[in-house]
Structure 1
Amino acid sequence: MSHVVVSGANGFVGRALCRALLDAGHRVTGLVRRGGGCIDGVTEWIDASTDYSGIAHNWPAGLNADCVVHLAARVHVMHDTAADPDAAFRATNVDGTLRLAAAARQHGVPRFVFVSSIKAVAEGDGGQSLREDGLPRPEDAYGRSKRAAEEALVRLGGETGLETVIVRPPLVYGPQVRANFLRLMDAIWRGVPLPLGSANARRSMVYVGNLADALVHCSVDPRAAGQCFHVADSHAPTVAELVRSLAHHLGKPARLLPIPAAWLRTAGRLTGKSAQVDRLVGGLQVDTSRIRDVLGWLPPYSTDEGLSATVDWYLSTHRAHSCRCKTH
């Protein structure tokens, strides 16, 4: 049995990871800014300092952990209002990450698992699945900060002996999902026609249960030390397939309009929304063969099982929200 510290333990991925760790028999301490959001069985460690500025000093007496999984981050936002987005992302995602990793090593933690993002590599696959050893070309402040944190952690590991493991997921979905995925389900539920019938490029995603399972392996398997892994579901659907599958599970028709992708790209350029359109019609497939070959890991849930669980949650807890949206 290992003792794992999870930063961001009360978040979307954090709660799923804590549950997976507990189910596997491990002890879990959740490092959070505010108390009260962790699942039962997790010991909360509250640290409200800015970007872990006092984390080394505030390390709890007697906390002897085998691994830290770092999920907490300044997340990607569509319309960032920061005066200097790169500096804002770097302060949290690079400087804060390094403070936590250095404190972990100082207090005897041998392994640090950093949950990065496929955005640290690219926004699209250029016609070839993205591999861990591909040339990184992040395109926004969030992606650049995640890539910089990866590089800094590798250097820290080389200098101190800290076992670093980097995990790069694409879009994560599942119960409690927010942002664009939730808005897509709302739109399907309300019967909004979607101009995505010709969006046939494939885009990798990862069900939160699959990501949590992979992170458990990365936390405790000796073979993961020093590795970088891409983690995704076995199937990469097209956006049109995704809409049809969600509509099926929601019991709603898939109102897809067959607008050519070239027309959507033109509309994106004219409206200043090229990046948003590219995320709908451009390909983004990731190669997950390394984690399969090194750890023998395979996703325990199919994409259809993940979407079904997501829709079940939506229908049980978010249907009222979607109905309210329809009246506004």
Structure 2
Amino acid sequence: MKVLVTGSNGFIGKNLIAELEATTKHEILSYDRDTDVSLLDSYCEKADFVFHLAGVNRPETEAEFMMGNFGFTSTLLDALKKHNNTCPIMISSSIQAALSNPYGESKKAGEDLLKAYSDETGAEVLIYRFPNVFGKWCRPNYNSAVATFCHNIARDLPVMVNDPDVTLNLVYIDDVVKELVYALDGKENRQGDICAVSTIHIVRLGDIVSLLESFEASREERSIPNMADAFTKKLYSTYLSYLPKDKFSYPLKMNVDQRGSFTEIIRTPDRGQVSVNISKPGITKGNHWHHTKNEKFLVVSGTGVIRFRNLYSKEVIEYFVSGEKMEVVDIPVGYTHNIGNLGSTDMVTIMWVNESFNPEEPDTYYLEV
């Protein structure tokens, strides 16, 4: 298919085009304010589907609302009619189309124009009234509080919240794009005359800021947000996309001695802790046991041996491990255990434990294997 996307350099346009180019073989006809105007005519002649995402939401004068949201829509439809092209057309409207303000009225005028066009030509039209959309590539300090908060908190800049109890209806950009791809395939989510994204998150403004601040603090705490919560997962992905280029990495505290090093990477309240252990050649670490704490060891570089012994047995069990053959070794409770480097180079082991280390309740008891 030949798919015309107006507003192609905008927030939704960029995300939609990226998805279509990555997952389909459709030809994308990109049109934005910087595109040669003469191309619109040829695009409207050959388009098989139109995503009309272009619009104005931050003009210098109120008159520009109607000019951008109604005027350009009229120009687009006239070009389609000129070529008798009755392909389906989707328009990006707003929930504010139901309100009496210059922006909402201009969006409603665009909707009405599209309905009249459908009545006249028989073309299928899909009107989407989006609430607040958030996600990567949304411009901060423009018309998205989420984008502005992400941008500022990632740069240690202040954020201003007049009323933290205000709730926002939010849709995530990936959910928007998924719905638009459904629409392209004729499987749109219709609710009467209006189409909609099926997943909406209703969130307090104060809770958004608190979550973003916890994401910033998570680097120092080595914590991971609760990815089981759909909104938290989406907001965290969004936040990371606003990191400045010099903040993609962050340091970890390495506990170093003559034996090697031990470095915690991730701590979670419900999924345990992940660490990296480096053992020098000939070094054995461990020789302790646990009542309830359990671990998984994965040697990713070097060669070594993991030894176990039940507290009430003299039998020593050995597992020879190597980065050449990836395998996870479970460390059972009630067994004293150690791990020794048998090679001539450093041995690197990824270690997971079912609970983050608590020095007040370590559940770790020294005993030679």
Name the CA distance, whole Å, in 1 between partners of 2:7 and 2:159. Answer: 36
Asked whether the equivalents of residues 211 and 231 of structure 1 are also in contact (C-alpha less than 8 Å), the reply is yes
Structure 1 length-normalised TM: 0.62
Q: Is the 8 A contact 2:164 2:204 kept in 1?
A: yes
Cα deviation for residue 186 of structure 1 reads 4.2
Deviations 1:103-157 (A, max 9, x none): 2244324111000111112xxxxxxxxxxxxxxxx23211110011101110111
1:153 aligned onto 2:81: no
Scaled by the length of structure 2, the TM-score of the pair is 0.55
Bigger RCO (CA 8 Å, 6+ sep) = 1
1:69 Cα deviation after fit: 0.5
Q: How does 1:81-120 map to 2 (within 5 A)?
A: 81-82=60-61, 85=62, 87-107=63-83, 108-120=85-97
CA contact (8 A) 1:93 1:146 kept: yes
Contact 1:7 1:32 in 2 (8 A): yes
Residue 174 of structure 1 contacts residue 307 of structure 1 at CA under 8 Å; is this kept in 2? yes
Distance 1:248 1:143, change over 3 A: same
Structure having the larger proportion of residues in strand: 2
Partner of 1:59: 42
Q: CA 1:195/1:159 → structure 2, altered by over 3 Å: closer, same or farther? A: closer
Work out the number of aligned pairs and report it.
231
Q: Which amino acid aligns with 2:31?
A: L
Where does 1:5-16 land on structure 2 (aligned, <5 Å)? 5-16=4-15
Cα pair 1:165 1:224 within 8 Å, conserved: no
In structure 1, C-alpha distance between the alignment counterparts of 2:79 and 2:202, rounded to whole Å: 38
Q: Which amino acid aligns with 2:131?
A: P
SS of equivalent to 1:203: strand
State the distance in 1 between where 2:175 and 2:13 align: 13
User: Residues of 1 paired with 2:210 and 2:86: CA distance?
Assistant: 46
Residue type matched to 2:205 in 1? V
Matching of residues 141-180 of structure 1 within 5 Å: 141-178=102-139, 179=142, 180=145
Report the CA distance between 1:10 and its aligned residue: 1.8
Rounded Cα–Cα distance in structure 2 between residues aligned with 1:32 and 1:318: 31
Displacement after TM superposition at 1:8 (Å)? 1.3
Q: Which amino acid aligns with 2:210?
A: R
Task: Structure 2: give runs of 5+ residues left out of the alignment.
Answer: 220-228, 249-369
Deviation at 1:249, TM superposition (A): 2.0
Q: Percent identity?
A: 26
Q: Distance in 1 between matches of 2:161 and 2:237?
A: 26
| 2:32 match | 32
How far residue 250 of structure 1 moved from its aligned partner, in angstroms, is 2.4
Asked if 2 retains the 8 angstrom alpha-carbon contact of 1:113 and 1:164, the reply is: yes
C-alpha distance in structure 1 between counterparts of 2:188 and 2:200, whole Å: 22
**Equivalent in the alignment of 1:47:** 36
Q: Secondary structure at the match of 1:30?
A: strand
Deviation at 1:163, TM superposition (A): 0.9
Greater radius of gyration (CA): 2
Aligned partner of 1:324 in structure 2 is: none
Q: Offset of 1:48 from its aligned partner?
A: 3.6
Q: What secondary structure sits across from 2:237 in the alignment?
A: helix
The CA deviation string for residues 14-64 of structure 1, in whole angstroms up to 9 with x for no partner, is 110112223341331111233xxxxxxxxxxx3347xxxx94xx3259x52
Q: Distance in 2 between matches of 1:171 and 1:223?
A: 19
Letter in 2 for 1:228: I
Letter in 2 for 1:65: A
How has the CA–CA distance of structure 1 residues 95 and 186 changed in structure 2, closer, same or farther, with 3 Å as cutoff?
closer
Measure how far apart 1:66 and its partner are: 1.5
- Map of 1:1-328 to 2, 5 A cutoff? 2-25=1-24, 26-34=26-34, 46-48=35-37, 55=40, 58-60=41-43, 64-75=46-57, 77=58, 81-82=60-61, 85=62, 87-107=63-83, 108-121=85-98, 138-178=99-139, 179=142, 180-189=145-154, 190=156, 192=158, 194-195=160-161, 199-221=164-186, 227-231=193-197, 233-251=199-217, 302-317=230-245
Distance of aligned partners of 1:175 and 1:162 in 2 relative to their CA distance in 1, 3 Å threshold: same
Instruction: Check whether the contact 1:105–1:162 (CA below 8 A) recurs between aligned residues.
Output: no
Contact in 2 for aligned 1:118/1:230 (Cα 8 Å):
no
CA shift in 2, pair 1:308/1:232, >3 Å: farther
How far residue 65 of structure 1 moved from its aligned partner, in angstroms, is 2.0
Q: Deviations over 1:142-191 (max 9, x none)?
A: 11100111011101110111111001111111112222433323443426
| One-letter amino acid of the structure 2 residue matched with residue 112 of structure 1 | I
Residue 216 of structure 1: how far off its partner (Å): 1.5
Q: Which runs of 5+ in 1 are unaligned?
A: 35-45, 122-137, 254-300, 321-328
1:193–1:234 CA distance, 2 compared to 1 (3 A): closer
Gap change, CA 1:223 and 1:229, over 3 Å in 2:
closer
